[in-house]
Structures are given as C-alpha cells and as structure tokens.
Chain A
Amino acid sequence: MDALRPMTEADLVDIIAAAVADRVPLAPTGQGTKAGIGRPVQHPRLELGGLGGVTLYEPEELVVSVRAGTPVDDVVALLAAKNQELAFEPPRWRTPDGRASRGTIGGLVAANLSGPRRFKAGAVRDHILGVKGVSGRAEAFKAGGRVVKNVTGYDLARGLAGSWGTLAVLTEVTFKVLPKAETEMTLAVAGLGFARAVEALAGVLHLSVDVSSAAHLPAAGAEGSFAEEARTLLRLEGFAASVQARAEVVARHLSGFGPVERLEAEASGQIWADIRDLGAGLAVGEALWRVSIPPAAAAAFADRLAGLEPRRMAFDWSGGLVWLRLDGALPDLGADVIRAAIAATGGGHATLISGPAEARGRIAVFEPQPPPLAALSRRLKDQFDPAGILNPGRMWAGV
C-alpha cells in the first residue's frame, strides 16, 4: 500500500479505524512539501488533497473556513480578491530547484510556520478560530468555533497547531482574516555587523512606530538571492499617511547607523516575500536550522557559533528567529553547538528544517524536552492516538 486518499471525512474515519485495527502507522500528507522536515518516517501516506475547498468565506466577518487539503496559494488568492489576508504570512518555501512550493492549509497548521510579520501579528496558531479533525481514535471531532472571542472549553483548535499530524488529522480549519494594509515601506541600512544590527532593530521597538517586520541579513555568499552586502530591514505597514509619518521617525533613528534606503511598496513586499519563502530555497546537502530565541540575545547567540562556520545566517523577528545554513557533512549538523548556544543565551529552541535523512534519524530534529515535559507530551499523544498510528516517530522517537 503506497498511499490512501480519502475523499470525505467519513472515508478518513474508516481509514484510520482500519489502521488502528491493523496497527498500521500512517503519514498524513498534504502536498508533501514538508516531508523532509522531522525524523524520517516510512509510513504509508495518507493523502489529504481530496479534502479540499473553501467551505465558508465571509469577508465582512473576517472569517474563512478551509478544508485541510486546499493549497495555501488558493486561499491567499481568494482573500486577496477581497483585499484581505492571513496576517501571519504563510511561507511557501522554495524547493531545492527554486520553485515555489504549493503546500496545503493542513500542512501549514500542522507545522505552525509563520512569516516575517509573525513578530507583530502572531503565528498561524494565533489566527486559528476552530478546527475539525479525526483523532487517532478514529473519531471525528471539532473544537473552537468561527468567532474571534471564544473561551468555550480548552483551546484545542490552537493546541493542535504545530503537532505535525501526530495527534489528529485535521480536515478543516477556520481562520481569522484581516484587511491587507493599504501600503507598506521598508527602511534599510547596509553594512552593519550583528551587534550593531541588533542594536538598530531593538532601538526601533522602543519607538511608537508599530514596526511589522524587522530583519537583518548578513552579507550573502554567491549562492544567496539576497544582496551582497549585509542589510538591516524594518517594515512599516498601514494607511499611507501613517506609513509616511512613521517612516520619518524610523529614518531618523536609523540615520545614526548609516545611510537609510527606502524601499517603496512593491520592492518592500518583494524583499519580505523573499525572506518569508527562504530566499534561494532549501538546498540539497546542507543543514538548515530554524532557531527561536529572545530577540535581544541574537548577537550573543551568533558569537557562540563561531566554530561552526555557518554558510549563511539570517535574522528575522527582530533577532528572535535565526536561520542557519551549515555544511551537511558536519557529524551532528551542529546540533550540540547550536543548542548549547541557546541554553547559554536565554533559552529557546532549534528545529532542523532540512538535512540528510540519515542524520535526521540520528540527531534530535526538534528541541529535546526536559523529562516532565516530555512525559506530558507523550501522555497527550497517548490520549489522542493510543494505538500510535498517526505519524509515530516524526517529532520524537517513540511518540
């Protein structure tokens, strides 16, 4: 059996019931764009592309309900036609051959991966209002609702985000949507080192200018799509008059760090889309780490990586998100050095986004958890998937 392709929720319940009965593990899959993330698993694919389509879109209510197999691109286009968007900026990471990936809504939620605006607007999970899904008990259930303010019961809808298909297979997700900003502008300074860049970014956050994205891209090697020279970028979004007024304030602040370049709406949108979609894309033979740390720790964190000789590094979320590209031949892909640096500079977590399958089976792809937290995670898994048939081993061995 290679793959199963349910066309209805009832099909999905039957498939999972059968898998439970036969103890056959399954890998819930959208388009497979994130198949290389996590520990390598060989389970038959449970393909959810047949469960697609938008079931509700009420622009005036700022709400959209989408079945899990729907391509993210389709939802983005649907919302854009009404001048709305998913404010967390769903990434569509480029594949190694440079194509934009067509991931699904289910995959987006299962991975809880957000773009540059996450720093202001929140993550995927912050925009989830409700979900429907089928747990590893072969039971269809729902959680949450379709309104923004809702505290009826545990927040299982948000709680399932980022569970990588190990607790339940989502069939439908309801999101809060927001109006697109009228315009945007990015202010950039070139040539700063880490410490100065982090200082420039942090200072802006103490002004009442409502920055929506803040990144530092160190000087790129020949392989990157970013500029040759290091760039420190700050994005402002909103109504035109407001963006202009705030840009003056930010420019004054940045002028202490170097000449300030202004990227108008189109160029601004393009550079943040590049950052969102990982610039040159996922590369073969490299290790790509995604590290979440306290933003002010960014420079100190980077200092501790010296021995690893990162091929590329990029800082998003004002320093709180670090992308690290390393040589794929390093014995542990740098895991120990990276995690020691996190521990030494204020905590956080590192996830291996891309790397050789052999290494992904050997090292901890997700941040290792202390024993009481790991035990709690395992108990949650056992409650939702007692037979262990939903993507076992994808996040942690034996879970």
Chain B
Amino acid sequence: MTLVQMPVPDAATLAHRDEIIAGLGRILPKSRMVVDERGLKPWESDALTAYAQLPLVVVLPETTEEVSRILAFCHAHDVKVVPRGAGTSLSGGALPLADGVLMSMMRFNRILDIDFANRAVVAQPGVTNLGLTRAVEHRGFYYAPDPSSQLACSIGGNVAENSGGVHSLKYGLTTNNVLGLEMVLMTGEVVRLGGKHLDSDGYDLLALMTGSEGLLAVITEVTVRILKAPETARAVLVAFSSSDNAADAVADIIAAGIIPGGMEMMDHPAINAAEDFVHVGYPRDAEALLIVELDGPPVEVDDLIARVEAIVKARGAVDCRISTSDAERLAFWAGRKAAFPAVGRISPDYLCMDGTIPRKAISEVLRRMRELSADYGLRVANVFHAGDGNLHPLILYDANKPGELERAEAFGADILRLCVAVGGVLTGEHGVGVEKRDLMGTMFNEVDLAHQMRVKCAFDAKQLLNPGKMFPELHRCAELGRMRVHAGQLRFPDLPRF
C-alpha cells in the first residue's frame, strides 16, 4: 500500500464515544447528529474516494453559537474535529477521522446580505459557489472564482481550499475575492476578520485562513466581493498538430499583453474522450486543443479575437474557430467542462492531479509525462488551465486490478515531483489534504514546514482541528516552540556598520 497513513486513532476517545455523543447531545438535538453506522456511511469520503473512514460521529450545527459550543466541548475533552463543506474536495481535505467529530457546515445555507452598493455579499459557508452568482445575477453581477464543481461546492469550502477555476488568470483565486470572515477557533472563541472594506487592520489572518484546509478555524460566515459581469464573451477554439506549438501560442498571447478570461488546453487523449462524450465537433486528430475566451465590451473582444487569431495562425494552428453566438461559445466549452466525466467513461477509475508549472515548461512536462505513462503502463489524459500553468493530468487505472491504484499513485507522485523540479508546485487549486501530504517535503524543507506548523500552533495549540492533513508529520506545539538559539554560543558577527 502506498496510500497515505492517517494518525493512529486515540484509544481513549474511541472508548469514550458514548460520553462524547451524550455531551454533544446536550448542545444539538438528536435530529442533527448522526451516530449509527448506516447513517455514518455516506460521510466516509469526500470526492477523493480512494480514501474512506467512518467518523466518530457527525454533527450538523446551524448557528455560530452551536459551532462555538461544540468546539469548546471538544477542546475541553481533547476530541478532534474535521470540518466539512459540500464534500467535493479532490485531495481528501474532509476525510473523516475514526476518533474525530465530523462537523458538516451544510446547514449554514443562507445568504445573509446582498449589498450592491458596496459590491459585497455576506453568506453562510454552506451556500454553494454558484448560489452566490445566482443571488446577484438579476442585477448583472457575479462571483468570479468558478471551480468546476461550482454547482455543488460550498463557499466555506472554497475559502478553506482557496479554490480557483477557469477564470482565475484574469479574476484571481478565492483569496483575491474574499473580503471578510467570521470564524470559530478550536477553543470556541468567535473571531471576525475584515468586512465590506479592503485590507487588513493588522496581521493578514484572512490570507492565512484562505487555503488553510480546515486546520485553523471553522468558518461560519463569508463576505465576498462581487463583480459586474462583462458585457460580452467570445471564445476561440484552436487545434494544433503539436503541443509545442500550442504552448508557444499561449506564451505569445500573454506576451502580447492579452490576459484572456480563460485559456484552457487539452491533449489528444482528452480531446477524444471529450468528443466521444459530448459530440461538439472537437478535431479528433489534433495533438492539442486550445480554448481562449475573451470578455469585455464588444469592441474590445472583437479586437482581441483578431489579435489572438493572428497569433495562433502564426504558430501553425491547423484549425481556428471563433464563436459567433453564446450557444457556440458554450459548445466550445462543453467538452472541456465535461472532461472529467468523459475520462470517467473510458476508464473504470482515474486520479486527477493538480500541479502548477511555469508556462514555459509545458512542452517538457508533457513529453516527460508521456514517458512516465509508458514506464508505468498507465494512460494519462491532460486538461489544464494553460494561462496559469495549472495542470490536471488524469491518470487512468482500474482499482479492481491488483496493484493498479498503487501504480497510479506512484505515477501521480512522479508527475508532482516533476512539477516541483521545473519550478512549479504540488497543488494549484485542489489542496494538499491527505493526497499530497507526504510530498510536502519535495517543495519545503523542515524549517519551512515548521514555520507553517507554527501558524497552526497560534490558532489551534492542541492540534485538534483536522489533524493528519497537509503536514507529513505531526509535531507538538511545545516542541515547535522551542528555540534552537542559545545564549553564549553566538557573538555579533563582524559586519560593516555605520
């Protein structure tokens, strides 16, 4: 087994399960707790289904006060807590612990305030990403980050994972679009950060919270910035006979000063899987397909479309189609948006990886990936956010064939090491979770990781919130707090002074 090992459950907690449930039952009605095994079963995984674990108990609080009381109770009794949004994490961020309370935030499903004058929406964390846009689109506004799971994923989960999406090159990630939070620390203390104004009044704890994967605090309210939707959007669908040419075209578009609303690339296997699934007329013999979307006032979009067309033709595009209607634009996207389920049809199982690389390394990484694919005897299909170098290689395998999952995981780990080796990172938008936890050492040394863990210690000194995620090894805060510098061993160095 190469699967990441979770910490050994605490025997005392398991032994006191009944008392813990009784204690929680004094805070919540029975109807909002799940304790029996059959009821717990649906909660055993998030979207990374290779990992499953029944939680100790599931709680479904509805108010900040309930969250505060539950956390204070668990803090007092040293019980671990795993917060969960919609459960769409692709990295196991919401994987339960056998000795941990799973706290579902999906009852926090109300939009609290739509403030067009300040271009802000205040929502509870269980509101879906798309739900935010739905609430404001009648006035022509939208919430910019659009992860492909936006129909299901929650805004609280988006903050926890710092979710991206197709439009993040131009409009930023979650971290660039969140204005404020209400959160509850493991001690039960309620803390508010930011609001409808900009910038932090002290340390930028909002930055630390965004992407903290549920390890620092439980989010109970989110304030996001909304934007006026662009007047129009058009897309260009371009086929290339080599991925090198496609990668060069991407670089040329950026170099021309154009920041497209979205710029996506698919390789030959992904093109064909998508075309088999949605039949929108993708060119099957293309080695690489580029979708470039431009948005803004019509005059700007028309101008930029012409510029992009000239660039891709100069880079040897074999086919270039420009959308003339919104229906056609959406058809261009249909295959890309359906890429994951499309690949799901040609393989019993797949692993979705999520490294980011400098754009210039795209060709090299694709070539190395083909070699690794041959070495491991596993197919790989690639879709990626070409504009920001965020790769989503889909490794195809069959979990029923002994050893294939392990081989797929080893292949995936090699891809991520490759991403780091060319100057990139392990994860662009899916998070570390359990999946990439043990690879953190390829990007960060012990001192780097210790500084990150000290953030954890400032928020959650007992390390009861979502332990076993993100960090390969658990160190006690007391140990991390020790200073390695000792008086008497050092002198002021001989340095130029003035």
Contacts and interface: CB of A to CB of B under 8 A. Distances in A.
B195 A154 contact: no
Interface in A161-213: 161-163, 167, 178-180, 182, 202, 205-210
Interface string A214-251: 00000000000000000000000011011011100000
A347 B447 contact: no
Interface in A151-166: 151-156, 158-163
A272 interface: no
Interface in A363-399: 366-367, 369-370, 372-373, 376-377, 379-380, 382-384, 386-387, 395-396
B489 interface: yes
Interface in A108-146: 112, 114, 118-119, 122-123, 125-126, 135, 137-143, 145-146
B103 interface: no
B264 to A, nearest CB: 13
B402 interface: no
A348 interface: yes
Contact of B207 (A159, A208, A373): A159
B479 interface: no
B497 A3 contact: yes
A2 B497 CA distance: 8
Contact of A3 (B230, B254, B459, B498): B498
B451 A1 contact: no
Given A83-B257, A162-B204, A206-B139, A348 B195 contact: yes
A153 B208 CA distance: 10
B347 to A, nearest CB: 26
Specify which of A63, A125, A154, A366 lies most central, judged by the most chain B CB atoms within 10 Å of its CB: A154
Given A202-B117, A372-B191, A163 B483 contact: no
A278 B431 CA distance: 41
Contact of A149 (B388, B450, B457, B481): B388
B211 interface: yes
B474 to A, nearest CB: 15
B485 A20 contact: yes
Contacts of A5: 495-498
B19 interface: no
A332 B487 CA distance: 42
A373 B497 contact: no
A279 interface: no
Given A143-B451, A147-B388, A58 B208 contact: no
B46 interface: no
B2 interface: no
Contacts of A135: 451
B484 A137 contact: yes
Given A146-B358, A148-B356, A151-B162, A384 B454 contact: yes
Given A139-B447, A148-B389, A373 B204 contact: no
Nearest to B188: A372
Specify which of B486, B495, B498 lies most central, judged by the most chain A CB atoms within 10 Å of its CB: B495
Contacts of B116: 206
A79 B342 CA distance: 43
B254 A62 contact: yes
Contacts of B229: 208
A17 interface: yes
Interface stretch (A70-78, A92-100, A257-265, A287-295): A287-295
A313 B207 CA distance: 30
Nearest to B252: A60
A297 B202 CA distance: 21
A179 B257 contact: yes
A3 B211 CA distance: 38
Contacts of A285: none
B485 to A, nearest CB: 5
Nearest to A395: B202
Contact of B448 (A83, A143, A162, A317): A143
A279 B150 CA distance: 44
B463 interface: no
Nearest to B300: A242
B493 A11 contact: yes
Interface in B451-495: 451-452, 454-459, 461, 470, 480-481, 483-493, 495
Contacts of B427: 150-152
A162 B358 CA distance: 27
Contacts of B125: none
B422 to A, nearest CB: 10
A393 to B, nearest CB: 14
A317 B481 contact: no
A126 B489 contact: no
A280 interface: no
B334 interface: no
A266 interface: no
Given A153-B444, A205-B228, A242-B297, A21 B162 contact: no
B423 interface: yes
Specify which of A125, A179, A294 lies most central, judged by the most chain B CB atoms within 10 Å of its CB: A294
A383 B425 contact: no
A152 B491 contact: no
A163 B199 CA distance: 12
A171 B433 CA distance: 29
A239 B360 contact: no
B176 interface: yes
Nearest 5 CB-CB pairings of A with B: A242-B300, A179-B257, A349-B201, A149-B428, A296-B117
16 contacts: A1-B492, A15-B495, A21-B485, A60-B359, A137-B483, A139-B451, A141-B450, A145-B443, A147-B358, A153-B470, A156-B455, A206-B139, A292-B197, A346-B197, A377-B205, A380-B455
